[in-house]
Chain A
Amino acid sequence: MAEPRIAIDHVSKSYGAHRALDDVSLTVAAGEFVALVGASGSGKTTLLKTINRLISPDAGTVRIEGEDAGAQPPHLLRRRIGYVFQDIGLFPHLTVAENIAVTPKLLGWDKPRLAARVDELLDLVALPRDWGARFPAALSGGQRQRIGVARALAAQPHIVLMDEPFGALDPLTRDALGEDYRALHERLGLSTVMVTHDMTEALLLADRIAVLAGGRLIAEGPPQALARSDDPQVADLLAAPRRQAARLAERLGGTA
């Protein structure tokens, strides 16, 4: 088997007496889409941030494409890994084009290459090219997060991390963006790790779901495998989407 793109090996992290991560191991293969789910405080965001070293683990190692993530300067590591933020986090003083080009520019790309890449990405996230000159404040939430995705993909990373990327959007926008991103993920052969508290979203988008509770990884596998789990916490997590699906089917006429 080929080297996994991301290999998290026995990682722990404590804040004082609180164990945010407790001996977690997880691998993500090339082309895989993994969702991290769990209640608030379960450690899913902490785990995501250990991957690009926004958080350094106390114990254990994280390997990115075979290299120890702790052995290189964190800013160099982060330039190789796309990151989509929960609060979108576009720089308000930079134009859309400057926001998208920020990581390639840090990598020293020349101007024509930057401009071409910005156009390419605006096409990719289905926004008009002439929006590059606008400022983020002039865009809607959904449009801004499309720019957020474009920024994460700008430096042609193999890995994209997403921290509740669509949480703040209205359901319609959220659904459309989720689908669009999944299609990009396929097309570009990415490895994606997405944190979400929405089990339905995880079930719909991810190849594999990792369930965290109290800083521990309690279950992990494709949706069908999770559905067969006898862990009561996992069953709880799956109960809500199941119930919703059943009620929807019932109310919409049973044959949806």
Chain B
Amino acid sequence: MSADLAAAFSRLPEYLAWHVLLSASALALGLLISLPLAVAAARNRHIRWPVLAGASLIQTIPSLALLALFFPLLLVVSALSEDVIGRGFSALGFLPALLALTLYSMLPIVRNGATGILSLDPAIIQAAEGVGMTPRQRLFQVELPLAAPVIMAGVRTAAVWTIGAATLSTPVGQTSLGNYIFSGLQTENWVLVLFGCGASALLALVTDQLLGLIEVGAARRDLRRIGVGAAGLVAGVVLALLPLASFGQPASYVVGAKNFSEQYILAELIAERIEDRGGQARLKEDLGSAIAYRALASGEIDVYVDYSGTLWANVLNRQDNPGRQAVLEALTRELDARDGVLVLGSLGFENAYALAMKAERAQALGVSDLADLSRLAPQLTMGGDLEFFARPEWRSVVETYDLEFRNRRSFQPTFMFRAVSSGDVDVISAFSSDGRIAADNLVLLDDPRGALPPYDAVVLVSPERRDDVRLLAALRPLIGAISVETMQQANLSVDRDEGKVRPAEAARALARRLELP
């Protein structure tokens, strides 16, 4: 426990700094856009409705989806700018998070701003005109000061929302306090999850109180309160950002990881090996499955581990299954030709999508492969991880074996294993290298008709780093070195309930076991 806490605290300066930088920038940008919009909406009733409706519409998009949507959008814009001015930009990390959070912060500011100005006493507005103010003088000397308390209330709401939603920027590759939450959820480290939630809630609370001080100051025309609130905010942001002065320089190598234990362990392993050879390495964790490859192709990350079947179906859009070796060869050829990505080779184990059942349940029903399942499926409930039912592998399984389950439910992987153990679901999607399969006494169902493509774990290197001697020297010994049992064991050490270890420790244990050069 205390080791977990110590580990959590050690990353706090970095996570908090990014979280504060991101939220403060988004809020500042949001204010800059929203205030003029609010004034325009208050002045002109023809644009009032579209502006307020637009801001409300943004709010109805789940924040995670909003964050994710900016990635493809920015990729297109970046490609355009590369065509036009010969320079692209990073579509991952800070920029999409900033833009999404900015949009997200706008509604309360625009709405309160427009309402605050519109609800002013018309006699005051007429007086401002009557004493000879220009429209601009009226706005700055009368309308904005009088509406300030209402506007500040909107800014407070926006600040709390933004700080909360910023935790969701982790999956698009932006470090934030969300890193605690996403990694913690994945490895079932509740201390980490609570730590992340607590830190972000505390940050929101403090910010809210300081903004509240400014709000009260604005209402009572108390400059001292406004001053104290503003000084507190500035000091807080500066203090929080200090660590970035040292973390700010880009690490020389960025190792990517998707959002599950095996990925964390392998990324830690790779990072450690880079650092052993004198390089600097930084992890970019919890990348979405679709985002990871594009991030590598565009040079956002330098190296990560993906699975041949995933690349085959999602990147090359292939549905056929020509066999393990053929898939690997085709991938190596085509990713190189298409994106300049180097497929360095397979780590030696497969982490295939497979369907799993509890051993005794499978035995009782007489199921040993997917073909057996087709006649029983209408009585069974299928559980999948969050993306499984949207993946081509699922369609392929359903079509090949004509499966029609009574019911299907999606889970975060940790809860999916709980659900199959407790009997809430009968069949789950699982990865063959998952240590919990053996530990929970599950069996993997055979796939006699080859509906599921092979999933060799392969090391991918970005176009910029494909000739980097130090990186390749760190990676080459890993090729073919990890058996599925070894990987299962490492995964289990992170995923199990009792005596679990952090991914970095599991990676060190794995390295010792492999006895690599």
Interface residues of A (CB under 8 A from B): 52, 54, 75-79, 83, 85-93, 102-103, 106, 135, 151
- Contact with B126, one of A85, A102, A151 (Cβ below 8 angstroms): A85
Alpha-carbon distance A93/B146, docked complex (angstroms): 7
Which A-chain residue is minimally distant from B124 (CB atoms)?
A89
Complex: how many Å from CA A89 to CA B142? 12
Give the chain B neighbours of A91 by CB distance below 8 A: 124, 127-128, 142, 146
Question: Can you list 28 pairs linking A and B with CB atoms under 8 Å apart?
Answer: A54-B126, A54-B130, A75-B129, A75-B133, A76-B132, A77-B132, A78-B129, A79-B131, A79-B132, A83-B127, A83-B130, A83-B131, A85-B130, A87-B121, A87-B123, A89-B126, A91-B127, A91-B128, A91-B142, A91-B146, A92-B124, A92-B146, A93-B146, A93-B221, A102-B131, A106-B131, A106-B133, A135-B221
Given contacts A91-B124, A93-B146, contact A106 B137 (CB under 8 A): yes
* B interface size (C-beta, 8 A): 17
Q: Is the CB of B131 within 8 A of A78?
A: yes
A91-B124, A91-B142, A92-B124 are contacts. A54–B129 as well, Cβ < 8 Å? Answer: yes
Task: State the CA gap A151–B131 with chains docked (Å).
Answer: 8
Residues of A within 8 A of B131 (CB): 78-79, 83, 102-103, 106, 151
Q: Is A93 within 8 A of B145, CB to CB?
A: yes
Residues in chain A near residue B137, CB distance under 8 A: 75, 106
Chain A residues with CB below 8 A from B221, complex form: 93, 135
CA distance A134 to B130 in the complex (A): 22
- A86: which B residues are within 8 A, CB to CB? 123
The smallest beta-carbon distance between A30 and chain B, in angstroms, is: 22
Which of B126, B127, B132, B134 makes the CB contact (< 8 A) with A90?
B127
**Closest Cβ neighbor of B219 among chain A residues:** A93
Minimum CB–CB distance from B232 to chain A (whole Å) comes to 24
Which residues of chain B have C-beta atoms less than 8 A from A151's C-beta? Answer: 131
4 new A-B contacts, CB < 8 A, other than A75-B132, A92-B146, are: A75-B129, A102-B131, A106-B133, A151-B131
A83, B221: Cα distance in complex, Å = 27
B128 to A: closest C-beta gap in Å: 7
- From DSSP, what is the main secondary structure of chain A's interface residues? mixed
Q: Which residues from chain B contact A92 at a C-beta distance below 8 Å?
A: 124, 146
Sorted from nearest, which 7 A-B pairs have the closest CB atoms?
Answer: A89-B127, A79-B132, A87-B123, A78-B132, A83-B130, A89-B123, A75-B134
A52 vs B128: C-alpha distance when bound (angstroms):
13
Residues of A within 8 A of B128 (CB): 91
With known contacts A91-B142, A93-B146, A85–B123 Cβ distance under 8 A: yes
Instruction: Give chain A residues whose Cβ lies under 8 Å from the Cβ of B133.
Output: 75, 106
Q: Which residues of B contact A52 (CB under 8 A)?
A: 130
For B121, the closest partner residue in chain A by CB is A87
B225 to chain A, nearest CB (A): 15
Q: How far is the CB of B137 from chain A (nearest CB, A)?
A: 7
- B121, B127, B129, B137 — which one has the most chain A CB atoms within 10 A of its CB? B127
* Alpha-carbon gap, A219 to B145, bound state (A): 45
How far is B455's CA from A69's CA once the two chains are assembled, in angstroms? Answer: 83
Q: In the complex, which residues of chain B have a beta carbon less than 8 angstroms from the beta carbon of A75?
A: 129, 132-134, 137
Q: Which residues of B, 339-393, contact A by the 8 Å Cβ criterion? A: none
**Closest CB in chain B relative to A78 CB, distance in Å:** 4
CA distance in complex: A245, B127 (Å):
36
Report the minimal beta-carbon distance from B462 to chain A, rounded to whole angstroms.
58
A76 to B221, CA, bound (A): 29
- Which residues of B sit under 8 angstroms from A106, Cβ to Cβ? 131-133, 137
A63, B221: Cα distance in complex, Å: 41
Residues in B whose Cβ lies below 8 Å from that of A102: 131
**Closest CB-CB distance, A67 to chain B, in whole Å?**
16
Q: How far is the CA of A78 from the CA of B132 in the complex (A)?
A: 5
